[in-house]
């Protein structure tokens, strides 16, 4: 099976989107880009995450043409392709409709540094200008708003994160949703105190060596 490992990861993390409360129903999508093969694996459109099997995951080339698979790919293919075309640091995308991130997105709010964990995505998380789902315009707006960051809110829509692999992209989605909930709850009883840019620069540097590092990164 072409890109079997990536397909299995899409199945595994798709189910985690539901169990971790990051999306509901069939909403959201995930993909992994294999730069050596110049191919991407993406979740199928409109399928229950617990029914998706590895063979249901669709393989596309970087132009968006189906290379392998019998299912219709996610309607947000453009939202994934644009990052693989233009961002060398991103090899996986997670797009969710998680509640608190989507609440902020529906207010067209950005997520400021209300908690240092925002640094997993950048010094803040911007909100991209609205565009119809599944369009190239949405992809362009999203790419622009995520410049220098690994997460972005999509106005009146949801959240998108990117990472060097699917594990990182998923972890950032969890962290952003956590911070979005903190921000929502803090604003409900007062005015949150936002961490300053100078301190966030320090935190961003510390995050580069946070956790267990691969030997090549040491």
- Residue spans per domain, the chain: 4-210
Report whether 152 contacts 131 (CB < 8 A). no
To the query of whether residue 76 is one of the catalytic residues in this protein, the response is yes
Q: Dump pLDDT digits (tens) for 75-108.
A: 999 999 999 999 999 999 999 999 999 999 999 9
pLDDT for 73 equals 96
CATH pick for 4-210 out of 3.40.50.300, 3.40.225.10, 1.20.1580.10, 3.30.1370.10: 3.40.225.10
Beta partners for residue 68, in sequence order: 59
Q: Indicate yes or no: pTM above 0.75.
A: yes
3-state class (DSSP) for residue 160: strand
Q: List, in order, residues 6 or more apart from 7 with CB less than 8 Å away.
A: 1, 41, 54, 55, 57, 59
Phi and psi torsions of 211, nearest 5°: 80, -165
Q: Is 60 exceeded by the pLDDT of residue 45?
A: yes
| Active-site annotation holder among 6, 76, 78, 177 | 76
Q: Dump pLDDT digits (tens) for 53-81.
A: 999 999 999 999 999 999 999 999 999 99
Q: Report the alpha-carbon distance of residue 194 to residue 216 in Å, rounded.
A: 35
Place of tokens 């969710």: 96
């Amino acid at each position: 099976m072409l890109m079997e490992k990536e397909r299995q990861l899409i199945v595994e993390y798709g189910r985690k989107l539901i169990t971790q409360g990051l999306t509901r129903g069939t909403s959201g999508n995930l993909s992994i880009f294999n730069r050596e093969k110049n191919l991407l694996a993406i979740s199928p459109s409109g399928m229950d995450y617990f029914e998706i099997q590895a063979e249901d995951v669709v393989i596309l080339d970087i132009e968006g043409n189906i290379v392998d698979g019998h299912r219709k790919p996610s309607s947000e293919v453009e939202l994934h392709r644009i990052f693989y075309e233009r961002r060398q640091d991103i090899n996986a995308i997670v797009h969710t409709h998680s509640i608190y991130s989507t609440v902020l997105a529906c207010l067209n709010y950005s997520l400021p540094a209300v908690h240092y964990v925002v640094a997993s995505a950048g010094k803040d998380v911007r909100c991209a200008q609205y565009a119809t789902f599944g369009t190239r315009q949405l992809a362009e707006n999203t790419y622009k708003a995520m410049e220098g960051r690994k997460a972005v809110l999509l106005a009146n829509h949801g959240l998108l994160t990117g990472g060097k692999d699917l594990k990182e992209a998923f972890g950032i989605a969890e962290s952003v949703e956590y911070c979005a909930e903190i921000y929502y709850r803090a604003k409900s009883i007062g005015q949150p105190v936002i961490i300053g840019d100078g301190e966030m620069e320090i935190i961003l540097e510390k995050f580069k060596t946070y956790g267990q590092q691969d030997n090549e990164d040491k």
